[in-house]
Structure 1
Amino acid sequence: MSPRAARAWHLLTFLVAAFALVFQLVLVYRGGHVLDEVEPPPTDERVRRYFFYFTIQSNIAVAWVTYLLARGRESDTRFFRVLRLDAVLGIAVTGLVHFVLLRPLLDLDGADFWADKLLHMVVPALAVAGWLVHGPRHLLANRDVPPSLVWPILWLLLILTTGPLFDDWYPYPFIDVAEHGLGIVLVNSLGITVLFLAIAYGLVWLERRLPPRDGQHKSDDSEVSRA
């Protein structure tokens, strides 16, 4: 695939992710349903909760990195490598967890249904396909995995510490301390952390074995100095 095709794909992904984020925010502001909320809380609390969903943060990461890629702003820096890995990792986990754990719990219709599908299915498919087909290639290394876990771990700690302060609200059932107790939630969190680690190292392993895209050359030190 040509660099022009790659930029076009990343631009498409950015536009879809940005639209989905704004679309969902408008619905949340207007009182739309998220997961199984029966009676949405007041407006300020709905907006606060919107930004606490890992799905939203993952889509923001995808929008950010694909905007940079569409503009040709990718760089071989630690920050960009971790951002790229976090975007693909976060959105892949978002799609997987939604399909396996959350989809059976949902009973959405109308605009809420379509916003949910954009955030949990369309954007993950576009982002992962863009990474597989268009790269950029050979940027990631095993040493990029630990810093990529800082964001999801901080997110989890934030959720667990603020939940009791806001009517025992937790964005996902499997980390609901009020419902399951701290012990079970910690076990669930450990399992999710292992899932993150496995997918992150799997992404690095696969990315280093995919052929460079047109116009991109594998750097000489990618296999040695970044191991």
Structure 2
Amino acid sequence: MNPRWARPFFALTAACVLIGVVVQLIVSANDESVFGGSAAGRAFNIFAFFTVQSNVIVGVTCLMLAIRVDRSSTVFKVFRLIGVVAITVTGIVFHVVLSGLLDLDTWAQVANQFLHTVVPILALVGWLTFGPRGLTSGFVVRWTVAFPLLYMVFTAVRGPLASDWYPYPFANVHDLGYLRVAVNALWITLLFIGLGAGANALDRVLVGARSRSVETADV
């Protein structure tokens, strides 16, 4: 990884997260049809969305890498992989399941494209290209899986306390019941496990390829 290119790329990714979240905050605050009551309540409510939470994790971890790329604490490793996997799930689920359900105006569409398309692409390209490598492991993958489970529990508990409002149709306990939502949570968790394990395996391959490249250069 060349810090000369890595740090600006991570900074760009963090900036795109900021743009997407800020635009979405403004759009939601000014849209009286959005759940939340007051303007502040509508704006704050966007943080109940998995999309926004995954974007924030990506933004924070990328900002940290833009400041200093050589980070290797266990907490950072876990949140780095959570961000990469969660934002990948965000992009996949939105474009496969949710995109046809939305009818957005101009600024809402801008926020939507940043949060569901631009940031997922940048995050994945950044991880593949700049890493940092060697931060994943079975231990890190296991902790990564906790994120979707905790999110679904949070959503199920919060819904009845928020006038039966749920951020996504597949998490709507009021309409689907706890069993169906639990099954949906299982599918999302399995997707997380698959992506996390895949990222771990790919990271090992990339670490090995880099090591062989260095050895060849030294010969």
Shift of 1:152: 2.2
- Structure 1 position 14 matched with structure 2 position 14: yes
Provide the C-alpha distance between the structure 1 equivalents of 2:72 and 2:30, rounded to a whole number of angstroms. Answer: 42
Is residue 61–residue 79 contact of structure 2 (8 Å, CA) maintained in 1?
yes
Residues 198-227 of structure 1: CA distance to partner in whole angstroms, max 9, x if unpaired? 11111111111114798xx99xxxxxxxxx
Provide the C-alpha distance between the structure 1 equivalents of 2:22 and 2:106, rounded to a whole number of angstroms. Answer: 16
The residue number in structure 2 matching 1:53 is 49
AA aligned to 2:101 is L
The residue number in structure 1 matching 2:132 is 136
Provide the C-alpha distance between the structure 1 equivalents of 2:127 and 2:62, rounded to a whole number of angstroms. Answer: 10
Higher relative contact order (CA 8 A, sep 6+): 1
The residue number in structure 2 matching 1:225 is none
Provide the C-alpha distance between the structure 2 equivalents of 1:68 and 1:19, rounded to a whole number of angstroms. Answer: 17
Identity %: 38
Shift of 1:163: 0.4
Provide the C-alpha distance between the structure 2 equivalents of 1:188 and 1:93, rounded to a whole number of angstroms. Answer: 13
Provide the C-alpha distance between the structure 2 equivalents of 1:60 and 1:169, rounded to a whole number of angstroms. Answer: 22
Higher helix share: 2
AA aligned to 1:30 is N
Is there any run of 5+ residues in structure 1 with no aligned partner, and where?
33-38, 219-227
- Structure 1 position 151 matched with structure 2 position 137: no
The residue number in structure 2 matching 1:110 is 106
Provide the C-alpha distance between the structure 1 equivalents of 2:177 and 2:201, rounded to a whole number of angstroms. Answer: 36
Provide the C-alpha distance between the structure 2 equivalents of 1:74 and 1:31, rounded to a whole number of angstroms. Answer: 42
AA aligned to 2:82 is D
Provide the C-alpha distance between the structure 2 equivalents of 1:112 and 1:47, rounded to a whole number of angstroms. Answer: 13
- Structure 1 position 121 matched with structure 2 position 117: yes
- Structure 1 position 191 matched with structure 2 position 187: yes
Query: Closer, same or farther in 2 for the Cα pair 1:122/1:213, shift >3 Å?
Result: farther
Is there any run of 5+ residues in structure 2 with no aligned partner, and where?
215-219
Aligned counterparts, 1:84-95, within 5 A:
84-95=80-91
Q: Secondary structure at the match of 1:57?
A: helix
TM-align CA RMSD: 2.1
Greater CA drift, 116-125 or 172-181: 172-181
Greater CA drift, 16-25 or 149-158: 149-158
The match for 2:71 among 69, 75, 84 is: 75
AA aligned to 1:53 is F
AA aligned to 2:91 is G
Q: Secondary structure at the match of 1:80?
A: helix
Provide the C-alpha distance between the structure 1 equivalents of 2:107 and 2:72, rounded to a whole number of angstroms. Answer: 40
Is residue 149–residue 185 contact of structure 2 (8 Å, CA) maintained in 1?
no
Residues 106-137 of structure 1: CA distance to partner in whole angstroms, max 9, x if unpaired? 11121011110110000000010000011111
Q: Secondary structure at the match of 2:174?
A: helix
The residue number in structure 2 matching 1:224 is none
Residues 31-60 of structure 1: CA distance to partner in whole angstroms, max 9, x if unpaired? 17xxxxxx2232243234211101011110
The residue number in structure 2 matching 1:40 is 34
Provide the C-alpha distance between the structure 1 equivalents of 2:206 and 2:194, rounded to a whole number of angstroms. Answer: 18
The residue number in structure 2 matching 1:200 is 196
Provide the C-alpha distance between the structure 2 equivalents of 1:212 and 1:21, rounded to a whole number of angstroms. Answer: 37
Provide the C-alpha distance between the structure 1 equivalents of 2:145 and 2:43, rounded to a whole number of angstroms. Answer: 25
The residue number in structure 2 matching 1:36 is none
- For normalisation by structure 2, the TM-score amounts to 0.90
Is residue 134–residue 213 contact of structure 1 (8 Å, CA) maintained in 2?
no
